[in-house]
Structure formats: structure tokens, C-alpha cells
Amino acid sequence: MHVLTTEIDDGVAQMTVAFAEDDYMFEVTVEDGVALVDYEETRTWRGQIRVSDPGNDIYKALMTSDEMTAFLNKHSCDSVKRAPLTP
């Protein structure tokens, strides 16, 4: 697994977990010292897009990655968690 980061704005980044044939894309935002991880979509190497929530192993890979640690340190975050689901 590889984790890639693109800073979109101050305190906002797009992070991608590349695993096998899939790229799991997340938006990470900072709110009150907490990094919130919001799942966006999964893209396959065949050009398909899925929006079903990935498994806990993908979230764990993202949240424990060196890229996430660097993001947390850069923005002085105390923790990281999944963003609440929006209807």
C-alpha cells in the first residue's frame, strides 16, 4: 500500500491509498486540532468509480501512514478520526 498526499488548501488535503488495482480517495480537513477523514471515492485501474465505503484495513493504512503523521504534525493536530456521515 502507498499513501499519496496533495495539499488543497491550508488544513485541507486529498489523500489517496493505492492498494492493488484500486485508489481509495479521501479528503482530510483540520477542525479544532482534529484531522477528520472523509471518504470520497474509489477509482480502479480500469476507469471504474465506486463510492462504497472501504474496509477498516484501508482506513487503518491511511491513519497510521507517514503521510498522515506529517499532516498531523504540520497542522498541530492531536488526533485523527473519521468524519461524521452527512445525509
Cα 65 off chain centre by: 10
Pick from 75, 77, 82: nearest CA to 59: 82
pLDDT at 49: 93
Query: Position 87: which residue type?
Result: P
For 63, the grid coordinates are: 491513519
Within 10 Å of residue 79's Cβ, how many Cβ atoms?
Answer: 10
What angle (nearest 5°) sits at the alpha carbon of residue 18, between those of residues 48 and 20?
Answer: 75
Backbone φ and ψ for 57, nearest 5 degrees, come out as: -65, -35
Q: Please, which pLDDT band fits residue 87 given cuts at 50, 70 and 90? A: low
Over the stretch 11-52, which tens digit does the pLDDT of each residue have?
999 999 999 899 999 999 999 999 999 999 999 988 899 888
Backbone φ and ψ for 62, nearest 5 degrees, come out as: -70, -50
Alpha-carbon distance 37 to 31, whole Å? 11
Over the stretch 41-82, which tens digit does the pLDDT of each residue have?
999 988 899 888 899 999 999 999 999 999 999 999 999 999
Q: Is the pTM here over 0.95, yes or no?
A: no
